[in-house]
Amino acid sequence: MKRHLLAHFVDIKMDTTFATSEYHLLGEGINSLTEEFNPEEETEQWINQANGTTDIKSYTPSISVEMQDVDQEDTDLLTWVNNMIDTLPTGKEAVTSYIRVRVQGNGPEYPAVRRQCAISVGSTGGDAGGNVNNALTIGGRGDGVKGTFNMKTKTFTETTTASASS
């Protein structure tokens, strides 16, 4: 699978109820984007063992985004990023959601995971003669929700699990 077939969208309406979410593709101006899962591990080794045991306690996904402030088709996303840099939101004003989409199959709906997140601003600036670079961190909050994402309508539909009946 090529990198362009793993898409990440962020909700610029910052609607934690998901009633008016407005998802925009993280793409233009971004050379690299990796979702880190940051597992919290616990390792123990008893005195009678040659090797220890590792257990995974939890995950705290995060995405570091370095985005060049370049002319792009999605001016709403750029306006949102610039507003985040200008206002440096904290608390619930920094909370939104992102969606990871695996663009596989015929579409327009693809397998996806939506996760609430907090956006933190790291820096803005750059070298003389170059484009302005903005650094944001998208920090996961809680569990992700599986579903599908419609690339045309930019809407997420949660997968419902039917209960087994006898």
pLDDT of residue 164: 45
Instruction: Note whether residue 134 is domain-resident.
Output: yes
pLDDT-derived band at 163 (thresholds 50, 70, 90) equals very low
| CA–CA dist 63, 57 (Å, integer) | 20
Instruction: Note whether residue 22 is domain-resident.
Output: yes
Instruction: Note whether residue 14 is domain-resident.
Output: yes
Q: What is the CATH number of the domain that holds 31?
A: 2.30.110
Instruction: Note whether residue 11 is domain-resident.
Output: yes
Is residue 156 within 8 A of residue 21, CB to CB? The reply is: yes
| CA–CA dist 22, 114 (Å, integer) | 13
| CA–CA dist 23, 32 (Å, integer) | 19
Average pLDDT of the chain, as a whole number = 93
Mean pLDDT for 122-136 is 95
pLDDT of residue 119: 97
Instruction: Note whether residue 154 is domain-resident.
Output: yes
Instruction: Note whether residue 117 is domain-resident.
Output: yes
For residue 105, give every residue at least 6 positions away whose Cβ sits within 8 Å of its Cβ, in sequence order, or none: none
pLDDT-derived band at 165 (thresholds 50, 70, 90) equals very low
Tens digit of pLDDT for each residue in 76-121? Answer: 999 999 999 999 999 999 999 999 999 998 989 999 999 999 999 9
pLDDT of residue 73: 82
Closest CA to 14 of 113, 81, 109: 81
Q: What percent of the chain has pLDDT over 70?
A: 96
Mean pLDDT for 49-68 is 96
How many residues in the chain? Answer: 166
**Omega before 89 within 30 of 0, i.e. cis:** no
Instruction: Note whether residue 44 is domain-resident.
Output: no
Residue 129 pLDDT greater than 70, yes or no: yes
Total H helices, total E strands in the chain: 1, 10
| CA–CA dist 144, 58 (Å, integer) | 13
**Pure H helices in the chain:** 75-87
Mean pLDDT for 63-78 is 90
Which residues constitute the domain of residue 120? 3-39+56-158
pLDDT of residue 166: 42
| CA–CA dist 148, 125 (Å, integer) | 36
Mean pLDDT for 59-72 is 92
| CA–CA dist 68, 128 (Å, integer) | 14
Mean pLDDT for 146-162 is 91
| CA–CA dist 113, 61 (Å, integer) | 12
How many domains are contained in the chain?
1
